[in-house]
Structure formats: structure tokens, C-alpha cells
Amino acid sequence: MKTGVYPGTFDPITLGHMDIIRRGAKLVDRLVIGVTTNPAKSPMFSVEERLAMVRREIDGIAGEIDVVTFDSLLMDFAEREGAALIVRGLRAVADFEYEYQMAGMNQQLNDRIETVFLMADVSLQPIASRLVKEIALYGGDIGKFVTPAVAADVARRVGEIGRKGT
């Protein structure tokens, strides 16, 4: 059984993430979505909230898909999950430069696990969780970038923390 890992913060999960999950699930027998923390990012949602959000959003996608949290080096997590590959989504050239460097570092850590890059659908390429949060915090409509349920989650959180610019 071939296992792949798709890691990310998913804060929040976007239509771009969903595209990569659907396509990545077709490449492996089992896809593990690893929801992680990133010290360089300020999450809007807790890890538990993001786990629940991702699980809700992937319901109905074909294939064996597990959603788990991890707080370790990606290659250690992938090894624990028995992964043969890491699935990464690319939106633009800037993504490629960063992901290429990370893939090289990961290969140095564990050369038994390959990194596979999937180009985001053209209509989804500009979507980034960071920008979705920023738009929402300034009162903008994020409906083109996330599902209605995620938009409602974000609106609730923005209501709790307060909107910027008011």
C-alpha cells in the first residue's frame, strides 16, 4: 500500500488545498493530511479546530484519507506514517523556489521518501490562507476562496477577534 503525506497548517483550508487533496488522493492508496503548527505563522484557528475543519471538508472525497496532527520534522512524521511520498501544491514561481529548497533539504534527511509537486488549478493559483485571513479581517468576501462552511468559520472567528479597519 502506497502512502502519501500532504502537510500544511490549513489555517483555514482553502479551495486550493481541496484541489490538491482530491488529486493527491488519486496518486496513493492512502493519503495522510498532516495538520501542523508553524512557528513562523500566527494561526487564526487552534490545531484542534483545523483538524475538525479539514475532516469536515474532505468528507465525501474518494479514497482512504486520514487527517492527523503532527509537531515534528516533516520527514520524521512521514516516516512514522510509512509514507513513500510527500505531496506539495505549487501556485507560483515563488512557491517553487521555496518548495524546491525544502524538497532538497528533506531528501538530505531521508532519501527514501520522494516529494511530488502538483500544480494548483489555474483558477485556484492565487489562493493563500494568509490572504484569505487578511481579506476576512478587513471585511472582504472570501466566498470565492473557501467553502461556505469555512467562510462561516472564519466569519465567526473574525467576529470574536474583531475586524480591522473599523
Any bridge partners for residue 82, and if so which? none
The reply to whether omega before 12 is within 30° of 0 (cis) is yes
Whether 112 is catalytic is no
**Catalytically annotated residue among 30, 55, 56, 91:** 91
Q: How many CA atoms lie within 13 A of 36 on its CB side?
A: 19
CB-based contact 21:6 (threshold 8 Å)? yes
Contact in structure between 12 and 154 (CB atoms under 8 Å): yes
Does 72 participate in catalysis according to the annotation?
no
- List the catalytic residue out of 2, 41, 163, 164: 41
Distance in angstroms (rounded) separating the CA atoms of residues 133 and 14: 11
Q: If 0-12 CB within 10 Å is exposed, 13-18 middle and 19+ buried, where does residue 20 land?
A: buried
| Residue 132 C-alpha from the chain's centroid | 13
Main-chain phi, psi angles of 18, to 5 degrees: -60, -40
Examine the residue annotation and report whether 42 is marked as an active-site residue of this protein. no
17 is catalytic: yes
Catalytic sites, residue numbers = 17, 41, 91, 129
